[in-house]
Amino acid sequence: LLSSSPPNGTIEPKAITNARRLYTSCINESAIEAEGVDVILSFINTELGGWPVLQGSTWNESTFDFAHLMLKLSQYNNFIIHTVNTVIDEKNSSVRSIQISSNLGFQILIYYAKGIEVIKANWQFFNDLALALTNDTSKINDDTLALIEFEREIAEYCVKEHKISFNNTIRTTVGNLSRTVNISSDFTTYLRRLYLFGNVSLIDTDIITVVAPKVVRDISSIIDRQSPRTVQNYMIWRFMVNRAWNMPKRFRDIAQQFNYVLQGTSTERPRTVICASYYNFNSSFMPNALSLIQLHSKKNLRALREPVDRKEWIDIPPTQINAIHKLTLNEITFPAAILQTPMFDKDAPKYLNYGGKNGCSSKKETEKLY
């Protein structure tokens, strides 16, 4: 469907036309190579305030605007510090509410839990990507060291913080958020502006659940202690970790080297598989990729005012046969599919039922060790 043109005279739905355009732009590697990195670098400089590590000493610290940067990245579904999500309300399943949680500590803990080789590979990724994007290398080493120290401080805090802090939640409203959680009123302003991006005007009585409020506050305090250059560098870096996969092959190869250390995968997935997972717009791939993640963000924000579909499964599909490890809580969740054939059957011998469940659990336990 995506790789072939429609028959002459066929009028297709706009969704299919957009999907075919994005697939065509994604599969055309020669066009991606020709486009280079101009689009993404222009986006970083005009929309996000620039990437200091690429600009060396010419980056102007006075232009740093954390609120604007966080809002812009969130509009592209990149929640670097705190995640904002529209969820089905836990106390009233007929409506939706807003959930806020700390994303930064969790991401860093994943790398630290996997050991020193992954940590080294992460910063080699940063170093190699910066070297490939700029001729001004004067600040790369200093910036790398500053970011390593920043992540180390976050990781040490998360390790020291007791598990119960990650499992606590506070239920409040938009109007009471800054007082209840003791977080800057700027965050409430950010939240209102973010939902306006999805054409949703928040009201003071909208419900908010804050997961691990102490962690949210403390990580915000750690951020406040960093230099503007370090925060700007880090936020753009986390954004670029994913965007590298939409760039020319030499940049995807850099990302793949890190992926090999992190996950053990030595080659990129076939281009046809990657491109079939996208869907949207014109003939140029990078703008399409940015538009797509922007659409995902808008969809999540608009959902706050949409009715709840009681048939909708959230988080983990019921058909998924796997165990999901929650690192910060040290918990394992089993989807409903594990209670179906062939993993479980009421007429099967107990040793088969226990064996199926334990096999799935043991697989996840083994993954935790490596």
pLDDT, average across residues 319-324: 63
% helix / strand / coil in the chain, to the nearest 5?
A: 60, 10, 30
Name the DSSP class of 80. S
Each residue of 245-263: pLDDT tens digit?
888 999 999 999 998 998 8
**203-248 residue pLDDT tens:** 999 999 998 888 888 888 999 999 999 999 999 999 999 889 888 9
Q: Is a pLDDT exceeding 70 seen at residue 308?
A: yes
- Give the three-state DSSP class for 141: helix
Which pLDDT does position 90 carry in this prediction? 84
Q: What is the pLDDT of residue 320?
A: 63
Q: What is the mean pLDDT of residues 312-331?
A: 60
Task: Report residue 242 CA to chain centroid gap.
Answer: 8
How far apart (Å, rounded) are the C-alpha atoms in residues 71 and 190? 6
Across 31-45, 79-93, 127-141, 263-277, which has the greatest mean pLDDT?
A: 127-141
Residue 277 has a pLDDT of 62
DSSP character at residue 257 = H
Mind listing the pLDDT tens digit for each residue in 136-168?
999 999 999 999 999 999 988 887 775 556 678
* Angle in degrees, 0-180, between the axes of helices 213-224 and 104-113, rounded to the nearest 10: 90
Q: What is the pLDDT of residues 57-69, one digit of tens each?
A: 999 999 999 999 9
CATH of domain 14-305: 1.10.1380.10
**Quick check: 124 pLDDT over 70?**
yes
Please report which confidence band the pLDDT of residue 83 belongs to, taking 50, 70 and 90 as the band edges: very high
Residue 362 has pLDDT above 90, yes or no: no
Q: How far is CA 217 from CA 98, 101, 296, 348, in A?
A: 17, 10, 27, 50
Is-contact 209 99, C-beta < 8 A? yes
Q: Give kind and range of the element (H or E) at residue 170.
A: strand 169-173
Q: Looking at residues 324-339, what average pLDDT do you find?
A: 64
Per-residue pLDDT reduced to its tens digit, 67-81:
999 999 999 999 999
Q: Give backbone dihedrals phi and psi of 31, rounded to 5 degrees, phi first.
A: -70, -35
Percent above pLDDT 90 for the chain: 41
At 280 the pLDDT is: 42
Task: Please tell me the least confidently modeled range out of 3-7, 29-33, 345-349.
Answer: 3-7
Q: Would you kindly state where each structural domain of the chain is located, as residue ranges? A: 14-305, 324-369
- The whole-angstrom separation of Cα 180 and Cα 28 is 51
Among 129, 79, 118, residue whose Cα is nearest residue 241: 129
Could you tell me which residues are beta bridge partners of residue 83? 101
- What is the rounded average pLDDT of the residues 357-362? 70
Indicate if the pLDDT at residue 282 is higher than 60.
Answer: no
Mean pLDDT, the chain, rounded, equals 82
- One-letter amino acid of 210: V
**Which pLDDT score, from 0 to 100, does residue 299 have?**
84
**Between 283 and 348, whose confidence is greater?**
348
pLDDT at 180: 87
Collapse the DSSP code of 287 into the 3-class scheme (helix H, G, I; strand E, B; otherwise coil) and give the result. Answer: helix
Mean pLDDT of 26-30: 79
